Structure 1
Amino acid sequence: MAAGVVALVLAAGGGWLLHDGTDGLGGPPLPAPVPPASTAPTAAPTGTAKPTPAPAVPPLAASVPTRIRIPAIKVDAPVTGLGLTPSQQLDTPPTDQRNLTGWYRDGTAPGAAGNALVVGHADTRSGPAVFYRLGLLRVGDTVEVSRKDRRVAVFTVDSVRVIPKRDFPDALVYGPTERAELRLITCGGKFDRKTGYESNTVVFAHLSKTR
């Protein structure tokens, strides 16, 4: 299934990555307010335009990701491959493994040309999880993805947004791109015990270095 189709499933699913382990903690941290237009991140609020491309770094060949490191928020976690559930929703990492992220294995590999998708729980019933602090990332922070081929793809954050599930911009988040990009996604925004989190926190990043 193409990434664009999966986007529709993710946006409509509503129940993925929804747990209430952060009761009493106020929910996952939110991104900083967007600065004035002259200095704002390039991700368009309408979801119809693409971020302004940064200078291209030659993409790598596809290879399975094995670990993700985000120094700014102290994430150092293994990556597991995820497929689709029988109801055609993206599966999630096991909730009993709080420090585990999931990569959509039928999509783009991190470092290869296109949009790679990595998801993680913000919390579980036992407390904060791997992507709980995702909203604290800032433009210019880095994300390092180690791969099975022993290469490391380093991504630079372009923007961080909290996007209501009801208005999820599929084309912006999952649309095709010629350069290598990365999307990190978890739950965010307000939490309701009946409906779960109302939004997703999404990090937009581009490949800026390989080693």
Structure 2
Amino acid sequence: MPFMSFFSMYNKSFIYVFLSRLMIGALFTLQFLLASCAMDDAVSEPSPFVPTVQRQPTYEVEKVMDVVYGYGYGYHAELDSTIETALMLDIYRPTGITSPRPVYMFLHGGGFVGGAKSNENIKAMGEYFASRGWVFLSIDYRTTAHIGQDVSKLAPQEWINMALQNIEENRSAQFIAMYMAQRDAKAAMRWTMANDEQLSID
């Protein structure tokens, strides 16, 4: 009898655990199905606050040029000196829209040697995307054109030493400009995030 009693208690415990786990599994399954239904509803009926863009030019474009997003040291040819220089960007945005818009941050190419936001093709890109509902930011950043004889303020000394000692002579300035450019890109990103409401971006 004691053995049978123990066996009966064991069976009851096993059945209790089994049913409990089965119920928990059923609840998780139900929760998953409900969540899936909710996701389907969200897809079929998008929120009015979700930014939308157009395939065709739809909006007039407002342009704000040469907005200062930060400062960095650079060579000034007229002064023949390395001084603090304003870093600028251009804003292209659709007019007549108050809801938050998607933002397109564009940094021109040029291998850290050249390039500028004033390029006509880049201006055309700004017009293209802004007319379809985007806020387009065209970023200028420092290149080798901003490097003079004094490079001490342009990058950490370790970076400068590596550029001067381990990089080919005709590429050392490009290597230093690489550091400057990535710093400027981060500054532009911080400026954009700090001014998201003013820019009406999502």
What's the TM-score, normalizing by structure 1?
A: 0.24
Q: Which has the larger radius of gyration?
A: 2
Higher helix share: 2
TM-score (structure 2 length as normaliser): 0.25
The structure that is strand-richer by fraction is: 1
